[in-house]
Amino acid sequence: MAGPFLALGGGGCDFRPSAPESRAEYFVEKFILKPAAHDDLRAVAALGETDSPESLLTELPVRTAVIYLRARAQAGVSLGFHVSGSYPVDDDHKTVDVVVSEDTVLTLEPVRFRVDMTRRDKNWWVTRLQSD
């Protein structure tokens, strides 16, 4: 009886989220905590086959935010990720706000990412990452 369930679990299943809000949060968390997971990041981002996920960091504020949060995570600080808002632009475009907060004694201002999402082929893809 367990055989069919094991067979399903081993191949073909994609455990990545499909909703735009969940995909945006997944991308930001993976991008901060596991930046070398290029396959996982490419699976939810609209990137060319040879493009690095780092190519989404086109502006200085978002680069700075990512570097800061990666350094904090490497220092052992626990980070929390959550969606704080979702704003439809039109039927195939949406902006999702993902907030990253630190679980520390100090109350530091959370970092907000604006994740632009585009629907193509019934899937939502990360197309741009911004930060304040």
In angstroms, the Cα distances linking 38 to 31, 47, 53, 76 are: 9, 10, 7, 23
Which CATH code, of 2.40.50.140, 3.90.1720.10, 3.10.450.50, 1.10.10.10, is assigned to 18-131? 3.10.450.50
User: Token match 């201002």: residue?
Assistant: 109
Question: CA-to-CA distance for 109 and 102, rounded, in angstroms?
Answer: 8
How much is the pTM?
0.84
Question: CA-to-CA distance for 32 and 81, rounded, in angstroms?
Answer: 10
90-109 tens-digit pLDDT: 999 999 999 999 876 665 78
Sorted by where each begins, the domain ranges of the chain are: 18-131
pLDDT over 90 at 35, yes or no: yes
Lowest mean pLDDT among 24-28, 101-105, 113-117, 126-130: 101-105
